[in-house]
Structure 1
């Protein structure tokens, strides 16, 4: 069974997911970061594929992507690093990146390689859902790669139900219709959005991401979905601490009660 499916089968609430950019702060940090996160209770990891034009990302993740590219990170090298870490890490790993580098690699070859090295899914923010259904779903299914779709407060109920019907990993709930980045709290509009999705009784589990940076936003996300995703906050800590173990410790400290 796909590791994403296994995770949500055994744990329905309080999923803790972390995003980081592969090859940042240093080119060879990917393996160590994954191992350190798993050792400290993270349930699922999104491994960012650095790209020169990341339209959905805020300044923090953009900067980390630029540095990773300058460090020499490539998709080919990332697959090699995933293969190495998979010998020790058991948690689900999701590749998160934009369509351009994936298409340059070849979509089927990408899915095949994910399967070979032990990546379990992919998040491709600029892959239109209709294109996914018509052109890519059969390929991803062939290699048991879960393509995770994003929804926002502007996504219609009809589209959300279509996504729920045609995917089976989890649904990524973007907390607001903006780029990634830290927020201190979720306002009433975001709370209404969370409640609207809760009332739809979707079959897929849901994780809330974008803007989760402290105990308040983390707990709000955890209580309104199956779990929460932290990205920019962790990238900031990796830069500030200049030490992977300390960055992970500070991340845990920032969300603990």
Structure 2
């Protein structure tokens, strides 16, 4: 038994080292100005100082965070309302809602962006705005992940019993759903929102095709930096990873705090 435990521990350590190796090498590369031999040379933090003093990069961070918060908020509200209607009033429609929410799995970013441009670029309304199209596209591509997270959370609790108990105490169905059911699946919403954040953070195709260079996010900034300075590009990648880890840590903290309550 001990041999199996040691073998499993060794295997997990090997997998972790294999997965972290590219990140470690990128960090080392970003801290040295020259790496043409086995050992890197000329340690320097100049790349980080230049990036953190660049106002355009700071604006890219703000734009990327806005591109995460707005579509995730919209999608969560839509999915929760759809789940409320199908769970409380029309349970037979749940399978159709699931099919609709899973469709974006099969849509590639290039196809989605071209389709949106073809349909709305000449529209004389707010739908023709490129930012609106971008946030709408993000809301579509993250829909399967948000739906599956909320669905898993609702499957873990007895929604029907909790709703009936709240009604027996005089609560309306909508009140029971949003004040009793939703808080009980809050951790599932947080996890699915975190997954959606990772997808939006890594997007380049949609934002490049729909907005061009008018809405420069962190991935476009990284791509443009790679053309001029590989060391600076490595530093940008490390900062993106740190921001992602920070968002993950805050999200997990809120999830654990909610669980404690």
Provide TM-score, normalisation by structure 1: 0.24
Provide TM-score, normalisation by structure 2: 0.24
Give 1 or 2: higher helix fraction.
2
Rg comparison, structure with higher value: 2
RCO comparison, higher one (Cα < 8 Å, 6+): 2
Give 1 or 2: higher strand fraction.
1
